[in-house]
């Protein structure tokens, strides 16, 4: 005698267990997902600064020319020019520069032994031989979290501090 089981779907117990497991997963991972989304623009700006500084140091050696990272503190913009650009190319580079998101503000740029630049335009030079000016770039997000980016003259890596640091500290 054959016993033929008919497939009628899932039992109520199976459905309850699956819904319970999914709700536990959502309960654990939604806060982490929200945190990642909230700081996405901060991460984007950080990646841009770190990547751009590294590229400028490498490019200055490879292309044998000086580059300039311009930081417009009043308009929350950054752009790059080089020593061989015409005036028109420089204006075009400024117009197409990296505009920081609305929830990120450039606070200041600091050079060792000099006053902080709180407004106007700060320039960081990247010389033909691969070194640069030493500088600190400070940003702040909408939740008042401050980050500091230390650009060392002879290192291609940018040091990122998740707080406001100064040269005197």
CB-based contact 109:117 (threshold 8 Å): yes
Using one digit for the tens of pLDDT, what is the confidence trace for 77-86? 999 999 999 9
Q: Is the pLDDT of residue 155 over 60?
A: yes
How far apart CA 142 and CA 38 sit, in angstroms, is 10
How far apart CA 78 and CA 64 sit, in angstroms, is 22
Of residues 33 and 44, more confidence is placed in: 44
CB-based contact 103:142 (threshold 8 Å): yes
Contacts of 80 (CB under 8 A, 6+ apart): 52, 56, 67, 68, 69, 70, 93, 97
**Domain-wise residue ranges, the chain:** 38-161
- pLDDT for 53 equals 95
Q: Is the pLDDT of residue 138 over 90?
A: yes
State the chain's mean pLDDT as an integer.
89
Percent of the chain with pLDDT over 70: 89
Which CATH superfamily groups domain 38-161?
A: minor pseudopilin epsh domain (3.55.40.10)
- pLDDT for 27 equals 80
Q: Are strands 77-82 and 98-99 parallel, antiparallel or unpaired?
A: antiparallel
């Amino acid at each position: 005698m054959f016993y033929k089981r008919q497939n009628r779907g899932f039992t109520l117990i199976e459905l309850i267990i699956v819904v319970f497991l999914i709700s536990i997963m959502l309960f654990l991972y939604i806060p982490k997902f929200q945190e990642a989304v909230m700081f996405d623009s901060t991460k984007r700006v950080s990646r841009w600064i770190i990547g751009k500084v590294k590229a400028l140091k490498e490019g200055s050696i490879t292309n044998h020319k000086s580059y300039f990272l311009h930081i417009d503190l009043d308009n929350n913009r950054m752009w790059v020019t080089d020593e061989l650009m015409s005036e028109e190319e420089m204006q075009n580079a400024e117009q197409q520069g990296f505009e920081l998101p609305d929830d990120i503000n450039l606070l200041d740029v600091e050079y060792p032994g000099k006053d902080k630049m709180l407004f106007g335009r700060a320039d960081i030079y990247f010389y033909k031989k691969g070194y640069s000016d030493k500088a600190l770039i400070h940003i702040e997000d909408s939740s008042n979290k401050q980050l500091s980016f230390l650009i060392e003259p002879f290192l291609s890596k940018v040091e990122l501090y998740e707080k406001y640091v100064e040269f005197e500290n």
